[in-house]
Amino acid sequence: MKEQLEQIKGSALAAIAGAETEQALEEVRVRFLGKKGELTAILRGMGAVAPEDRPKIGAMVNTIRAEIEESLSARFGDLKAQSMERKLREERIDVTMPAPEKKVGKLHPITQTSNRMVEIFTGMGFEIAEGPEVESTYFNFDALNAPADHPSRDDTDTFYFSENVLLRTQTSPVQIRSMEGKIPPIRMISPGRVYRSDVADATHSPMFHQCEGLVIDKGITMGDLKGTLATFAKAMFGERTRIRFRPHNFPFTEPSAEVDVSCFVCGGKGCRLCKGEGWIEILGAGMVHPNVLRAGGIDPDVYSGFAFGMGIERVAMTMFGINDLRLMCENDARFLEQF
Interface ranges with ligand DAH (CB under 6 A): 170, 172, 212, 250, 253, 284-286, 307-309
Please, what is the minimum distance in Å from the beta carbon of residue 140 to ligand DAH? 10
Burial of 8 (0-12, 13-18, 19+ CB in 10 A): buried
Please, what is the minimum distance in Å from the beta carbon of residue 95 to ligand DAH? 58
Nearer to ligand DAH by Cβ, of 58 and 255: the residue is: 255
Nearer to ligand DAH by Cβ, of 286 and 296: the residue is: 286
Is the CB of residue 229 less than 8 Å from the CB of residue 237?
Answer: no
State the residue number with the nearest CB to ligand DAH: 309
Please, what is the minimum distance in Å from the beta carbon of residue 312 to ligand DAH? 12
Nearer to ligand DAH by Cβ, of 11 and 291: the residue is: 291
Closest CA to 307 of 191, 189, 194: 189
User: What are the residues whose beta carbons fall under 8 Å from the beta carbon of 290, sequence distance 6 or more?
Assistant: 254, 300
Please, what is the minimum distance in Å from the beta carbon of residue 284 to ligand DAH? 3
Nearer to ligand DAH by Cβ, of 39 and 307: the residue is: 307
Nearer to ligand DAH by Cβ, of 57 and 214: the residue is: 214
Please, what is the minimum distance in Å from the beta carbon of residue 174 to ligand DAH? 9
CA distance 102 to 81: 36
Pairing of strands 160-162, 186-195: unpaired
- Around 257, how many Cα atoms within 13 Å sit in the side-chain half-sphere? 15
Burial of 283 (0-12, 13-18, 19+ CB in 10 A): buried
